[in-house]
Structure 1
């Protein structure tokens, strides 16, 4: 099992990846990123979500604690949802094909497929409602990530202040 130092080394990297993703995502929302870079930006954000999920999983494995396992269990689906919606939001041909595949996949789940499609896509077909729903879900995940980032950064800062000799 890795040392506690290995676990501590992962945390700043995770916080940095999440911080950069949140800032770039909000800059994209505010239209501060040129449209020519839009597709590359969205792909980079999806990659950042996957990287953040991998960091959380690595931290859970390294620490072995139950809290880290719970965090990993929550982070992976949130990262997947974030990555999916970041690719869906430009509403390009690729986004439409991705959305159609997502709806079909959700509907193929026995017993809960209809409910899953309504929850994830706002209905059984792709429409303007799907785009609005994806936007709400996406920025809800961004808000959760930003709050988690701020909370953990405050905790790390407090731990450093408490560890500093007076």
Structure 2
């Protein structure tokens, strides 16, 4: 760890590249949890790694390399929110006031939902994913999957009904 710190502080490009590869995914997920926009999270993380590299002499002020990176990601995310979308910042502030108990309950519900969702057959997963997570219209889903509009409506109804039953079982 100390050796990696010294290499990063000295500007060693291979050490920096290794650090980026190791922490990029976590950093994007962290930014995404604040920004709720994958592309914005990617941009923020890219900027954060650049700042990390440029101001690498500040590494001694933090307990870990990761904490330094995540402090930059957090600050850049908040800056992005201030500059681009006040509503996201409000949602972030509300989310940060949730109690630890509520966080645990929400995580358990999320895991229960994911387990239930994964028990659906592939066609049901696909159609619900497009509808619920990609927020596609029935017409768009019809085009993407190459099925009739009536079949989209029926399949969404059946998939939601099955998902609800699977969720209730757990």
Q: TM-score, normalization: structure 1?
A: 0.28
Larger radius of gyration: 2
Which gives a bigger RCO, structure 1 or 2 (Cα 8 Å, sep 6+)?
1
Q: TM-score, normalization: structure 2?
A: 0.27
